[in-house]
A = this chain, B = another copy of it.
Amino acid sequence: MTRAMNVVPPRGGRILLAMLPFVLIAIIYVIGSAERRAANPDDKLLPPISEMAATTKRLAAEPDRRSGEYVLWVDTAASLRRLALGLGIAAAVGLAIGLTIGLLPVAGAGFGTLFAVLSMIPPMAVLPILFIVFGLGELSKVMLIIIGVTPTLIRDLSLEVSAMPREQLIKAQTLGASTWQVAIRVVLPQIMPRLLKCLRLMIGPAFLFLISAEAIASDVGLGYRIFLVRRYLSMDVILPYVVWITLLAFLLDLALVYIGRRAFPWAFVQEPR
């Protein structure tokens, strides 16, 4: 008999298998919702899917009664802009500092501990200081993402750099490379796939920080809407928004995988098992 670890499902079966747990979750939800509705016809906690669909349609396809805006799209645009800015800046900063710390022992000694410590500070707890320094506008929301995500990126990337085979760095030096050249031609391209992987892992936390920032002070955005309607437990808005955020995050994840495979084919040559 074939070992379990050697059983590879065929392509079609794989898709079916991937769908299965989602279908199960949907069924459990529908049952739970129906039960609560039976007990209280106005229940707001687990609205039936039909009601969520109606709400979603209203938010996405009908202009808001008061502002005339298409709420879902306005929120999405605002949040994605903040997210892209935050993640983009975090990636650039994380890459630069992580590479420096990982490659230069002096920088590692000087800043390694600093960033290890900084990455442990809960950003939410020092929000008041952030507000004063960065104001209450867009900047502070983007900054919260950056502050939340960058230290982890720095740590992970610098660990990755210092785990690179020494042979490669030595080989590069015997080919005449200076520190700068090693950094940009040997180390940088090799940690790019890792950066993408890190960014994939950081999409979740980044959304978390974004939503928290939007919950604290904002007038538009996905997190703003969720926390606004939480005031009257409108789960028929919250749940579709959560699904939408998850979908956006998942698509972003897929996009990063795709970019990785296109831009760094060498890193994926042996990957499929």
Contacts and interface: CB of A to CB of B under 8 A. Distances in A.
Contacts of A155: 201
Contacts of A124: 208, 211-212, 215
A49 to B, nearest CB: 15
A194 to B, nearest CB: 11
B201 A17 contact: no
Contacts of A253: 116, 120
A242 B126 contact: yes
Contacts of A182: 5
Contact of A125 (B20, B245, B271): B245
Given A5-B105, A9-B106, 11 more contacts: A9-B105, A18-B110, A45-B128, A120-B207, A120-B246, A121-B242, A121-B246, A123-B208, A125-B242, A128-B235, A152-B204
Contact of A204 (B22, B105, B106, B119): B119
A7 to B, nearest CB: 5
A203 interface: yes
Nearest to A36: B132
B13 A109 contact: yes
Contacts of A8: 105-106
Nearest to A18: B113
Please report whether the interface of chain A is mostly helix, strand, loop or mixed according to DSSP: helix
A4 B132 contact: no
Interface in A6-37: 7-9, 13-14, 17-18, 20-22
Contacts of A162: 271, 273
A185 interface: no
B245 A122 contact: yes
Contact of A3 (B109, B119, B179): B179
A255 interface: no
Contact of A159 (B119, B129, B197, B235): B197
Q: Which of A178, A179, A197: most chain B Cβ within 10 A?
A: A179
A195 interface: no
A136 interface: no
A205 interface: yes
Interface string A201-236: 101110110011001000000010010001001010
